[in-house]
Structure 1
Amino acid sequence: MDPQPFVRLSIGQIGLKLPGGNARTAAQLCHCEIRLGGFPVQIAHVPLIHSSEFNLDPFTNVAVFSLDESDLKALATPGCFRAPRSYLEVVVYLGRFGVHCGIAGRKRLVGVFRVEVGSEWHEGKPVLLHHGWTGIGKGEARPELHLRVKLEADPRYIFQFDDEIVLNPQVVQLHGSSRQPIFSCKFIRDKRPSQTDALGGQYWSSSGSEEKDMEMRRERKGWKVVIHDLSGSAVAAAFMATPFVPAPGCDTVARSNPGAWLIVRADTTGSSESWQPWGRLEAWREAAPVASKDTVRLRLHLLPERQDDCVLVSEAPLSIDKGGEFFIDMDRQAPAAAGAPAAEHCAVSLGAACVGGGFVMSCMVQGEARKSRPLVQLAVRHVTCREDAAMFVALAAAVDLSVKACRPFRRKPAKKYGSSSPDPLELDA
């Protein structure tokens, strides 16, 4: 498998010293906007440093940009209205940001730090672009900003499902204009109890709602996705371990009783009859405020081998209308998911997959009413063999099907006008 080159730009260890600081200044909020042409602006809190003795976390990044070849080319090619050179900008403000009680926050510019986009960005070698203090703003007694700006290669494997998962597509690897088949995907709907139910039960309970679910007689269960290599051997799979059922009194899957998938891989003997559990993906539908679209929230726990604790490593919402991105990235997780214990357990469960943190995987999926061919990106350093890649492909399939499984339940399948064939997943409603 040939990876595609990516560059990871990280900004961390950020802090600010203000000249003649006093209690009033110390009470104010300080933040920065981190800008790079063609990317969304990232906003981060900037702690104020009041003494020469300070301790800034050397591992936590406040912003991370992932750039592929096209991004680097665009940054190196000024447009008609762009400056002759491109820069990474860290714009520091003093005061509130965002909206508070309906009123836009006031902020005052402190200064701007810039790093020019140079030829070293294309070389793929680790480069420390800046580390330490630098003066920003105007005047003799200027504020000082401390930060670390690091550039390093982060090559990735990119895979895509050739068609919708329920149509048993091939999974191809993308490299430039080539599309090389790597895996095949088989979707199965089996409503009979299986040995995998017992496997999932040892890691998670189903909230004791089996009897109520049976009375409802409205559930989506028994979905399976099995990933095969080119020889036809099953190497990874996703099993629906907990049915997707509507909450009492409504027609949607609720947070109180989410549906769940067990992500597994074939054991070391290569037998598809014996699976090793790796992770559990939960999904439910969250109602949105008025005039907004609902979301499907996904939560991934890892199941460390020979340990009882399940470790949260990712939680993300996806739009039911447009879909979105689900990811495992230790630089982008919520505080509860990115702490040291989670990283340690992640390393135990994934081996090299969490060592050093950073990006692990992402998948892009479409909304509940759209045809979806999930696009999967994997960090090369976290894939030691094709079986590793297959495991993440199975996870991506579960993410995509979770969006469909969280659709509202109806008493009768809805008729789709103008469609030549019915949606096979509607048969479960």
Structure 2
Amino acid sequence: MDPCPFVRIVIGNLSVKVPAKHKLQSSSILDFKFKLKGFSTQVSTIPAFLQQKQQEPILDNKVHACFSLNKTQLDKLVKKSRSLKIEIRARKKLLGSVLVPLELKGLESNGNKGVVITNGWVLVGGSSSAQLHMNVKVEHDPRFVFQFDGEPECSPQVFQVNGNVKQPVFTCKFSFRNSSDRNSRSRSSISERSTSTSCFNCCTADKESSPKERKGWSITIHDLSGSPIAAASMLTPFVPSQGSNRVSRSNPGAWLILRPGHGTWKPWGRLEAWLESGGELGYRFEIIPDGANDAITLASSTINAKNGGKFSIDISNGAATPMTSPNSSFDLCSGSGSGSDFGSAPGSGSWGQLLYRGFVMSSTVEGYGKCSKPEVVVGVQHVNCSEDAAAFVALAAAMDLSIDACRSFSQKLRKELRRSDQE
């Protein structure tokens, strides 16, 4: 599989020298907004540093914002010479702003080293001598791009996309599990074309069927030879909270994402989903370390259930987990390094060495009633084999199907998502 060229604009090592005349407390928090035309505004905070003689400021050595660009977006950025705008606020009042011209000459010739745009102190415009320290770097971040050619519940093919080239790499099979699946056997070989495994059995209790529950949905990812190499299956049914037609945060539905291992399926991740009172789809995704007792959360956020959005796992801007560093793929102090030093360490027994950091994956999610053909983007450093990519594709399918699973129980689902006994 050939990756697509992507780059990341990463901003870190922030510190602000604030003159005494601003009368800020040492405990004051400064709010930052990072703006790049064509992208969503990103926000972050740091403590204020009150400028005093012979005192060195403390640099907050972590990534505060990160913008990802594909080749088309990068070409537009280079052509129009756009700038990154950083606004700084204290006590909700604008302290000042900084414009950082994104001159990207020499990016391609520097290989994986990237380009340091700025690394040091600059004057904050309109702030009367306040100064901002920052490190802004553009680094290469190649990624694999996959596209479903239909909705996950319609058992589509999945293509790898690179520019104008589309190559089939996986097939999907959507199905329903039932009680006979769960009771017929305690284990299931991965050579079978079924996802009814011991993992599903031990986590799913038999219960009385109710018209107000959505359960048993399953999707299996196969390689082109027909072998199943990843799966997503409902672990906890999606049911409405008492007195409502909504799946609530207090009782979310859940999916188990599985990968092959030792002749059977092994749990890799767990996705929970629910509907917020404001109409947004809430979610939380956890990685399940092999042999560990506790799962580790990689992503937790919301998506507009009506209009859709993007499901993303990106551990770059301080949202780090115990097994990651809040730093990017390069050392912000020195401005050196590259995305190529990421990667899975085959055979490593340490959970801390799994290196889920930086950009991990993203997928598009359509809203209610819209035709969904998810696009899945995965960082090259997290794909060592087809099973790696397939696991992320299965996760994307589960995220897409969660929109329907969390739909109000007063509304009827499309026919592909209803059992024959519910027609």
Fold shared by both chains (TM-score > 0.5): yes
Local SS of the residue matching 2:243: coil
Counterpart in the other structure of 1:186:
173
Whole-angstrom CA distance in 1 between matches of 2:247 and 2:240: 5
Counterpart in the other structure of 1:321:
306
Distance 1:223 1:349, change over 3 A: farther
The answer as to 2:146 corresponding to 1:159 is yes
Counterpart in the other structure of 1:423:
415
What is the 5 A alignment of 1:16-27? 16-20=16-20, 23-24=23-24, 26=26
Counterpart in the other structure of 1:15:
15
Question: 1:176 Cα deviation (Å)?
Answer: 0.7
Distance 1:387 1:403, change over 3 A: same
2:70 to 68, 71, 74: 68
2:125 to 115, 137, 142: 137
Distance 1:279 1:307, change over 3 A: same
Local SS of the residue matching 2:208: helix
Larger CA deviation: 118-127 vs 388-397:
118-127
Counterpart in the other structure of 1:394:
394
Quick check: 1:6–1:155 contact (8 Å CA) kept in 2?
yes
What is the count of residue pairs matched by the alignment?
A: 382
Question: 1:367 Cα deviation (Å)?
Answer: 1.1
Whole-angstrom CA distance in 2 between matches of 1:343 and 1:135: 30
The answer as to 2:124 corresponding to 1:128 is no
AA aligned opposite 1:65: F
Quick check: 2:269–2:288 contact (8 Å CA) kept in 1?
yes
Larger CA deviation: 308-317 vs 18-27:
18-27
Whole-angstrom CA distance in 1 between matches of 2:68 and 2:5: 10
The answer as to 2:273 corresponding to 1:283 is yes
Question: 1:200 Cα deviation (Å)?
Answer: 5.3
The answer as to 2:115 corresponding to 1:119 is no
Q: Can you give the 5+ residue segments of structure 2 that lack an aligned partner in the other structure?
A: 187-195, 327-343
Counterpart in the other structure of 1:374:
374
Distance 1:352 1:342, change over 3 A: closer
Whole-angstrom CA distance in 2 between matches of 1:276 and 1:351: 19
1:311 to 280, 296, 304: 296
Question: 1:413 Cα deviation (Å)?
Answer: 4.2
Q: Can you give the 5+ residue segments of structure 1 that lack an aligned partner in the other structure?
A: 79-84, 97-105, 289-293, 415-421
Whole-angstrom CA distance in 1 between matches of 2:11 and 2:102: 14
Distance 1:214 1:21, change over 3 A: farther
Whole-angstrom CA distance in 2 between matches of 1:189 and 1:379: 31
Counterpart in the other structure of 2:330:
none
Quick check: 2:17–2:57 contact (8 Å CA) kept in 1?
no
What is the 5 A alignment of 1:159-238? 159-192=146-179, 193-194=181-182, 195=186, 199=199, 214=208, 216-238=210-232
AA aligned opposite 2:257: I
Whole-angstrom CA distance in 2 between matches of 1:40 and 1:413: 34
Distance 1:77 1:329, change over 3 A: same
What is the 5 A alignment of 1:32-71? 32-50=32-50, 52-58=55-61, 60-71=62-73
AA aligned opposite 1:92: I
TM-score (norm 1): 0.80
Local SS of the residue matching 1:403: helix
Question: 1:327 Cα deviation (Å)?
Answer: 1.3
Question: 1:151 Cα deviation (Å)?
Answer: 1.6
Counterpart in the other structure of 2:340:
none
Distance 1:403 1:332, change over 3 A: farther
Distance 1:24 1:220, change over 3 A: closer
Q: Deviations over 1:240-282 (max 9, x none)?
A: 11111122222221222211111011115xx4xx111101111
Whole-angstrom CA distance in 2 between matches of 1:399 and 1:46: 33
Counterpart in the other structure of 2:192:
none
Question: 1:217 Cα deviation (Å)?
Answer: 4.5
Question: 1:21 Cα deviation (Å)?
Answer: 5.2
Whole-angstrom CA distance in 2 between matches of 1:27 and 1:401: 45
Q: Deviations over 1:31-53 (max 9, x none)?
A: 33322232233233243223534
TM-score (norm 2): 0.81
Whole-angstrom CA distance in 2 between matches of 1:145 and 1:242: 49
What is the 5 A alignment of 1:245-284? 245-267=239-261, 271=263, 274-284=264-274
Question: 1:198 Cα deviation (Å)?
Answer: 5.2
Distance 1:218 1:41, change over 3 A: closer
